[in-house]
Structure formats: C-alpha cells, structure tokens
Amino acid sequence: MPKENHQQEIAVLVSAKNGLNYFTANDWTLISDKAGRMQFRPGDQFVHRGKRTQGIYLLLKGTASVQIAGYGKPREIGPGDVCGEISFLDELPATADVVANETVSAYYLDRPTLQSLFELFPHLGSRFYRSLASILSRRLRELIDRPAPVKEATD
C-alpha cells in the first residue's frame, strides 16, 4: 500500500470521535502494521449474531448497519468505529449483525495478533481496553436513551 494511503488511514482513525480514543499516533502505526485489511461489498455481513468473531474490525471507509435483535432501527457505524468487540472481549457469540451499507474497508485484528502486541507493548493493551470500555459505556447509554421499540398489541 502506498505510504500516503497508509497515513490517510491512520489520520482517519486518530481523528475518529467514537473509536479507540486513548490510542496514540504510535499505537495506530503499530496496529495498522499488524492488522489484516478487509474489503466488504454492499450487503456483505461481516459480523454474525450468534457466531464468535475471533477479533475486532476497525472501519476505515464506508458505513455499516448494526442490527440488534428486538431493538428496531439499525445503528449506523462508519470510519473509526469498532465492531465485533463484545464477542472479542467475552469470547462468546456476537450480539448483533453488522452489514455493509456501501463498500467498506476495515482493519481486522485477531486475538493472537493483539495479545502479542500487548505483550511487547503493555501500555498499548491498557489504552486498548480503556478505549473499548469507553466505547461500550457510550453505546450502552445510547441504547438506554433510545425510545423503546413499539410492540404490536395482540387481541
């Protein structure tokens, strides 16, 4: 990948408001060097509710819809956002489906890659988990503040 594109991707991740906010520019350089690069077409589902993810996705370009069963309208995520983090953290099946709305470029980081980075750079691990805690806290608050889905009355 040309160096200019690589720097642009890091700039997107560093400036994201809803992403891994506690990362430094050096953290992003390490992560981007080790991450797998994924491309998804519109309609591709890349996180499947009920299946383990084995890692996390960091969106670089494009948007995707996150559908949580029973919660009505999907939530849209975009560049800088993370998905697959709940399954990554608890090593259980994903709690939502994530589907590309348009062409999506993402970094994918699997558990062994992240663990090896955290062994070499313990402060990176600390900033990673602090960022995930912040993301999950914000998302839970957003979910709580959403109006409850309307259930159809049965006669």
Categorise residue 133: left if φ over 0, alpha if ψ from -120 to 50, beta otherwise.
alpha
pLDDT beyond 70 at 154: no
**Average pLDDT score, the chain:** 90
| pLDDT value of position 72 | 82
| pLDDT value of position 51 | 97
pLDDT beyond 60 at 155: no
Structure token digits, residue 111: 């558990």
Mean pLDDT of 113-121: 96
pLDDT above 90: percentage of residues in the chain: 72
Regarding predicted confidence, which is higher, 146 or 102? 102
Q: In sequence order, what are the beta bridge partners of 45?
A: 99
The domain ranges of the chain are 3-145
| pLDDT value of position 149 | 61
pLDDT in tens, 39-88: 999 999 999 999 999 999 999 999 999 999 888 889 999 999 999 999 99
pLDDT beyond 90 at 148: no
pLDDT beyond 80 at 150: no
Q: How confident is the model at residue 4 (pLDDT cuts 50, 70, 90)?
A: low
Q: What's the whole-model pTM score?
A: 0.86
Q: Per the CATH hierarchy, to which homologous superfamily does domain 3-145 belong?
A: Jelly Rolls (2.60.120.10)
Kindly list the strands in the beta sheet with 36-40, ordered across the sheet, starting from the edge strand earlier in the chain: 36-40, 104-110, 55-61, 82-83
